[in-house]
Structure 1
Amino acid sequence: MLPALSYTSLEEFEDDYIEALVEEAADVASEHVWWNQPFSLSADKRNPNLLSGLTKLMHRYIEDSTGEARKVEYRDDVLMGAVDTLTLFEMLAFLSKEHEFTWQVFIPIEPRPKPVGRIIEGEIEPKLFELIMPEIDALEITEKELNDTKLHQTLRETHFPQR
């Protein structure tokens, strides 16, 4: 499972349109309870006419209130990371379709991010789903578990009782 994904628009936008899309993304992202980090957009640092963002999907370790790091159950982390990945793809697809543009999705690695697929005017390339399917299959995570919001809430409460 991927610890994070980044994404950049391939089309350029005017400043006021960038601002409107950033706000729209924040509204859309607020509709989901994120496992690690929410979907968010900003003007790209290298080209401010592009939109970009990065979403951390997994935790691996969580620091408790005493500052002690504890390991997150791997299956829980993968399940919740997959839920967020699918939600992220849906949100990127929504904006892409609504505003008729393309996203390039990357794995954020050094020295430069690795492109792994695109979302073109709302259509998600199938190879993006292939990023998460091997781990989902290996851990025998079911579609029911991916869609079970009560289970997701229980896992959040288990791993983040202070929230």
Structure 2
Amino acid sequence: MDSSAARDRDAEGRARNARPRDGLGRPLPYGAEGVARQPEGVTRRPDETVREAQRLLAAGMPFHAHEVFEDAWKSGPAQEEPLWRGLAQLAVGLTHAARGNAKGAASLLERGTGSLARYAAREGVPTYGMDLDGLAGWARALAGRLPGPVDAATDAPRLTH
């Protein structure tokens, strides 16, 4: 095995974590059966992003949903970056909550809610059918239940109205 493969690097030397992961994104031992990773760098229309992220959230895979939101924030218009970043932060907050990391969850849920609030405060910004106020309420309620048991699928938010 060459040194770039041993370090999970691609041919250009960029980090590419090849370890399998579980549904909450936790690394598993090499060779273990993991959950299929989301492909990186996929450009989707906003409605496709929302639909794919909702599918992953409903399946109890918020870590993977965060990757879908991250693609949108990196490939979309700059003015929408706070929307997609905030949604990614909420998904990672749910990930941490389901993993039992209450402090990390609360921090990310708060940051994500703040990002969405700043985005929604701007005049005429698109929300693509998402209920940003409802998502903020969901995040506050989830944070208020911590520490406590969280099931990533059962406790996942509904993105759209």
Q: TM (normalized to structure 2)?
A: 0.28
Whose strand proportion is higher, 1 or 2? Answer: 1
Q: TM (normalized to structure 1)?
A: 0.28
Whose helix proportion is higher, 1 or 2? Answer: 2
Q: Highest relative contact order (Cα 8 Å, sep 6+), 1 or 2? A: 1
